[in-house]
Amino acid sequence: MTSKHTAASAAAELSTIRDFLRYGVSRFNEADLDYGHGTTTAFDEAVFLVLESLHLPVDQLDPYMDARLTAAEREAVAGILHARIDTRKPAPYLLNKAYIQGIPFYVDERVIVPRSYIGELLFSDMFGGDDFTLVEDPTSVERVLDLCTGSGCLAILAARIFPEAQVDAVDLSPDALEVAKRNVADSGFGDRITLHQGDLFAPLKTRKYDVIITNPPYVDAESMDALPPEFRAEPALALAGGDDGLDIVRRILKEAPKHLTPEGGLLCEFGTGREILEADYPHLDFLWLQTANSFGEVFWLTRDQLKAGK
């Protein structure tokens, strides 16, 4: 059934941000959209689209709820709400912007929309915390590697957390690296981040790192076949991880020890394949890490643990 609602009618009949948020939630629910690219509900998606398109802070809704919009603003907001429905593209693609830890990054269809749990972990007590921590002194880290960097967001966050480190960032996709190049230039860390095109560790030769971070493709074949349109809009190269989703993770586990310093460690996000990894690597002492919305989808392994588990 075709909806009778149009962007033009919305722009003509609605006037405040509150109006457009209510309208957006109603239309998104009617269209049965899928989320997961920075938001998880129709309301949060509408807030993101409305406030960003009006160039308002996305974390300050209340002061603007009853603000009346100009005719041009009403047209812009109605247009982007309907574009979300008509195209089924993730909101960050429509806005060319995504946030991790409150930091904005440029994104488009050449890269996966950044949403890694690793961002939260980098900004947690796991790095430089007072109690249990993976890296006691972030200033002691001299070299960091971000494998499968995509938009470059994790490499940029790593440059913030490890202020003395040189950061290498690798991706197989030349298109993705063009987006990463833009983000690195905007970040102010261009003198400390180097981008490499190639297959995992291949372009790095014998370089060794104190910390390796990676959010590789890890969607299994069955899930790839069932992806909703929002996720099919992303590059398949950045999602598909083989039959069980862990083909690339296994390659990283095999090759990482050669590229870690004696005290180095690997931080890897791999999805929901914990039972598979535990069965495949019974001698590896995985440290399963928890975030606000996950447990056991990210692990930490030291070089010594990786070598001992072979």
- Using an 8 Å Cβ cutoff, are 24 and 91 in contact? no
What is the rounded average pLDDT of the residues 167-181? 98
Query: What is the four-CA torsion angle of 254, 260, 263, 266, rounded to 10 degrees?
Result: -60
What is the rounded average pLDDT of the residues 52-77? 96
pTM for the complete prediction? 0.93
Q: What is the pLDDT of residue 293?
A: 82
Q: Please list the residues that pair with 288 across neighbouring strands.
A: 299
Average pLDDT, whole number, for the chain?
A: 95
- Residue at 22: amino acid letter: R
Helix, strand, coil % over all residues of the chain, rounded to 5: 45, 20, 40
Residue 220's CB is within 10 A of a number of other CB atoms, namely 19
pLDDT tens sequence across 184-221 = 999 999 999 999 999 999 999 999 999 999 999 999 99
β strands within the chain, DSSP E: 98-100, 103-105, 143-147, 166-171, 193-197, 209-214, 260-269, 287-291, 294-302
